[in-house]
């Protein structure tokens, strides 16, 4: 397939706002691809590189050779060139990468050059998001979209899923299974402004679980080997020896757990989020004693137990109403007497993704001691749930997650089975641009332009600006980081690749003609940056509109 065909498809998808039209255009392009090209075509149309990073920054793309007159570049040729560029290292590597880049761009037409520049710069936003692309793969391969979504959940990448769908149809897709050692996308929680709203959405007895201000972690255990992954599927095992040691003590042959990592003070209250994040970062400060991280597990996705032991004789503590001394802040862990249809999951090994939440938790409680489990209760009483919420917040945590007892584990999606409740309005937004400061902030990038994701277009909707809440340390850090993400700038504003996620607190949403979405945040302020989240996990414009009523401002 020629890159020109992908370029034409990208333009067609960007030129329409309708989901069906996007799916149709993408599916047509995928049908025309050779079987071995499918994974690369899916990646390019999704705005991604199969190689992820090849060492080409925006500065390298400012000077490119004159374009070719006619299209001739093929998908395999571009993929091979990117692989070669990414493999360059050592003395003279910068010059060699530019030489290879120039050779590639010299064979591209003007429109192909524009497409490749935006692809490499991370600016290819035409609305081919995961959900849309999954539907396109299903349409092109003539398989049910539910089969594609499940395979994607288990594999974590649409490229291999597309190749399997085109090669072997439904049978190929069903060949993907949860594998210990291969991370899957985590299940996400929707939001509600209050406990009453959360219970109103679920309409039944539910688990109410503390929500910690930590780092999401997926822990894979196989024999004596432990591997820990972040929510972005990056492995961080080598940075967490204390977590690995704790997980090796669990009585399992193999397991996949979902949980949270957090740094706690001696009084069991949390350190600032930055302390936790620093332990999982690629680089840590030299000559400093690392703050130990605690791990709290709240779900199990796969479990292979050595063998069943009679109840009460296995030495593992059952869920009780007693104080959990090792829990964050000494929280309570209660479990109701609910009887799940189907009873206990079979011991001996199995995938628990489709099991009900109550069944998964029963399995978790069998193999994980209470001091390593997230504090929670099961109740049908919103007032009792509010007590748990108040206790969690009083001990310095974010709030609670209200969880359906019947919901399966819907990996990679923000389903209706989990609903988070926080004591204040917060959103995870993406930095679109930033303005230079003045006065005391002269020479620092200060005023952030904030955007929410638009699932229909694949772009971002600006919701306002803020410079409030930024400490001197944050100002210095964001100045360095945002300069690295810069794509263009003028005397006042630096426009950046939309990759950096920041958590914003705000007091409400108001109508505003100043911004394309017609709404703006009131009194927005920065809480923290979220390097553990990708832009694809940022909140959507629909979430912004739903989280609090939009008001006219100023009020009458």
Catalytically active residues, by annotation: 211
DSSP-assigned beta bridge partners for residue 550: 509
Q: Where are the beta strands (DSSP E) in 437-492?
A: 445-453, 460-466, 486-489
Kindly list the distances between the CA atom of residue 154 and the CA atoms of 46, 120, 175, 282, in Å, as whole numbers in the listed order.
Answer: 19, 27, 10, 26
Burial zone of 185 (CB within 10 Å; 0-12 exposed, 13-18 middle, 19+ buried): buried
Beta carbons of 437 and 103 less than 8 angstroms apart: no
| Residue in 201, 303, 212, 222 with CA at minimum distance from that of residue 262 | 212
Beta carbons of 420 and 191 less than 8 angstroms apart: yes
Kindly list the distances between the CA atom of residue 92 and the CA atoms of 101, 276, 517, in Å, as whole numbers in the listed order.
Answer: 14, 38, 47
Coil vs helix vs strand at 491:
coil
Q: Torsion angle, CA of 547/549/553/554, rounded to 10 degrees?
A: -110
Alpha helices in 283-409 (DSSP H): 357-367, 382-394
- What sign for the dihedral angle of Cα 249, 250, 251, 256? negative
Taking the CA atoms of the chain, what radius of gyration do you get in angstroms? Answer: 25
Strands 414-421 and 188-191: parallel
Alpha helices in 347-429 (DSSP H): 357-367, 382-394
CA distance 501 to 504: 10
CA distance 363 to 353: 12
Phi, psi of 298, rounded to the nearest 5 degrees: -130, -5
Strands 501-506 and 425-436: antiparallel
* H or E, element range at 551: strand 550-551
């Amino acid at each position: 397939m020629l890159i020109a065909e992908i370029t034409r498809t990208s333009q067609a998808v960007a030129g329409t706002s309708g989901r069906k039209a996007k799916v149709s255009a993408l599916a047509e392009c995928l049908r025309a691809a050779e079987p071995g090209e499918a994974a690369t075509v899916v990646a390019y149309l999704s705005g991604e590189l199969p190689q992820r990073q090849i060492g080409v920054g925006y500065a390298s793309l400012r000077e490119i050779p004159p374009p070719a007159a006619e299209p001739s570049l093929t998908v395999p040729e571009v993929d091979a060139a990117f692989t070669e560029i990414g493999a360059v290292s050592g003395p003279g590597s910068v010059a060699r990468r530019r030489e290879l880049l120039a050779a590639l761009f010299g064979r591209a037409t003007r429109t192909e050059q524009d497409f490749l520049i935006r692809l490499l710069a991370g600016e290819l936003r035409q609305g081919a998001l995961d959900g849309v692309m999954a539907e396109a793969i299903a349409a092109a391969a003539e398989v049910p979209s539910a089969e594609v979504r499940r395979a994607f959940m288990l594999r974590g990448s649409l490229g291999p899923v597309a190749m399997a769908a085109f090669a072997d149809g439904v049978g190929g897709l069903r060949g993907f299974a949860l594998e210990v050692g291969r991370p899957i996308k985590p299940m996400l929680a929707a939001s509600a402004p209050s406990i009453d709203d959360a219970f109103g959405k679920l309409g039944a007895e539910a688990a109410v679980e503390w929500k910690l201000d930590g780092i999401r972690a997926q822990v894979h255990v196989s024999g004596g080997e432990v591997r820990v992954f972040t929510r972005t599927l990056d492995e961080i095992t080598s940075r967490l020896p204390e977590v690995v040691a704790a997980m090796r003590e669990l009585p399992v042959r193999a397991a996949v757990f979902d949980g949270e990592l957090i740094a706690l003070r001696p009084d069991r209250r949390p350190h600032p989020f930055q302390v936790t994040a620093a332990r999982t970062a690629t680089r840590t400060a030299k000559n400093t004693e690392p703050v130990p991280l605690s791990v709290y597990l709240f779900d199990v996705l796969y479990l292979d137990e050595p063998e069943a032991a009679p109840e009460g004789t296995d030495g593992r503590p059952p869920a009780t109403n007693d104080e959990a001394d090792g829990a964050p802040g000494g929280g309570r862990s209660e479990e109701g007497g609910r009887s799940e249809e189907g009873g206990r999951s079979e011991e001996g090994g199995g995938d628990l993704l489709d099991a009900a939440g109550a069944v998964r938790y029963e399995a978790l409680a069998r193999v994980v001691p209470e001091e390593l489990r997230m504090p929670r209760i099961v109740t049908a009483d919103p007032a009792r749930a509010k007590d748990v919420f108040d206790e969690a917040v009083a001990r310095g945590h974010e709030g609670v997650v209200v969880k359906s007892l019947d919901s399966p584990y819907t990996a990679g999606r923000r389903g209706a089975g989990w609903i988070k409740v926080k004591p204040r309005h917060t959103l995870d937004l993406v930095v679109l641009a930033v303005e230079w400061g003045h006065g005391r902030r002269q020479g620092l990038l200060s005023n952030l332009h904030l955007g929410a994701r638009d699932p229909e277009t694949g772009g971002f909707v600006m919701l306002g600006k803020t410079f409030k809440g930024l400490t001197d340390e944050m100002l210095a850090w964001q100045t360095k980081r945002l300069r690295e993400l810069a794509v263009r700038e003028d005397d006042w504003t630096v426009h950046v690749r939309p990759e950096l996620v920041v958590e914003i607190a705000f007091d409400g949403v108001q109508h505003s003609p100043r911004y394309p979405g017609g709404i703006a945040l009131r009194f927005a302020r920065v809480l923290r940056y979220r390097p553990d989240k990708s832009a694809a996990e940022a909140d959507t414009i629909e979430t912004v509109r739903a989280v609090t009523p939009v008001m006219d401002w100023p009020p009458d």
